[in-house]
Amino acid sequence: MHTNGTSRTLTQLLVDGYQVRPGEFIGQGWEVARSHWVIFSVYLVLLLLIGLALSLTPFPVNSIVGVTLASPLNTGWFILAYYAYLRNQSVRPLDLLRICVRFFDFLMTDLSFVLFCLFLSVILLIISALALVTCTSIALLILAAMQGVDINDIDIQTNYLDLIVAGILMGLFILNGLITMAYLGTVLMFSKLFIIDQNVNFWLAMVCSWRLVKQNFWSWFWFLLLLILTNLGGALLCGLGLGVTIPLTFCSITMAYLDVMNRAT
């Protein structure tokens, strides 16, 4: 039921097209965050207290519980921002119970993101390594031809070559990881909002987010990059600025989703 309705709505939206307006989305997000600064502040304090409690528990219990709760608790920001707008300035703490109701889907969304990042990073690394080996072999063949000797007779410091190749592969792995995270982080940015708004499972939510974002990928990428830079600026203020930029980030993404899906008025 929700699945078919979501598909038709999204398909029609993609046919009609839509505009990405980062400045307007952030402005709307600021209004929501500013109007509900009390509830967002309370939630931030709650997260800090949970983090403090976990830090006092022994390893590996704190790590296991922390990783398990990180995704659903992170989703709480989206839930608060979503209901803060749609309920006309009315947010109820019980809204956060939706975290428990859809705990599995929220958790699987982030777990899938991590697994996809690792998988694509490894695939890109293999492709990069093959390209590196091919280019190195061609370079050695050219060098041997220029020197008029057999390729096996070329004097190369093996230890130095191994270090260079290892360094290049490590750099490629990091670069591929960053590229993969940037791509997936952008195309899947609305996954949890699809779960909250359309009540779909995590896989359909990820597919819907991907279909929605890929049509205007670069516009969404710059929008997300702007929010990341905003949070970096907040972190530079001894971390205190994050108390403002984190709610602003989630509210801005929520308002972008609602605007594009024609839920904002």
CB atoms under 10 Å from CB of 215, counted, come to: 13
Report if residue 220 sits inside a domain: yes
Task: Report the domain count for the chain.
Answer: 1
Query: Is the pTM higher than 0.85?
Result: no
Per-residue model confidence (pLDDT) at position 45: 92
Q: Print the domain residue range for 233.
A: 2-260
Q: Within a domain: residue 33?
A: yes
Cα angle at 35 between 32 and 37, to 5 degrees?
Answer: 100
Give me 265's structure tokens: 């008025």
Q: Report the alpha-carbon distance of residue 191 to residue 204 in Å, rounded.
A: 8
Tell me the torsion sign for CA atoms 84, 86, 89, 93: negative
Tell me, what's the pLDDT at 140?
67
Q: Is residue 52 part of a domain?
A: yes
* Average pLDDT score over the chain: 82
Tokens of 229: 């830079």
In a domain, 265, yes or no: no
CA nearest neighbour of 197 among 68, 107, 105: 105
Structure tokens at 202: 């995590």
Is 152 inside a domain boundary?
Answer: yes
Residue 24 lies in a domain: yes
Give the pLDDT score at 174.
82
Burial class (CB in 10 A: 0-12, 13-18, 19+), 126: exposed
Tokens of 213: 């974002």
Tell me the pLDDT band of 4, cut-offs 50, 70 and 90: very low
| Size of the chain in residues | 265
- Which residue, among 16, 82, 22, 12, has the nearest Cα to 220 in the 3D structure? 22
Of 31-35, 82-86, 122-126, 162-166, give the lowest mean pLDDT range. Answer: 162-166
Which segment of 7-16, 129-138, 182-191, 213-222 scores lowest on mean pLDDT? 7-16
Segment 5-12 mean pLDDT: 60
pLDDT tens per residue, range 99-154: 777 888 888 898 999 999 889 888 888 887 788 778 777 776 776 666 665 555 55
Examine the pLDDT at 168 and tell me if it is beyond 80: no
* 191 part of a folded domain: yes
**Residue 183: predicted pLDDT:** 94
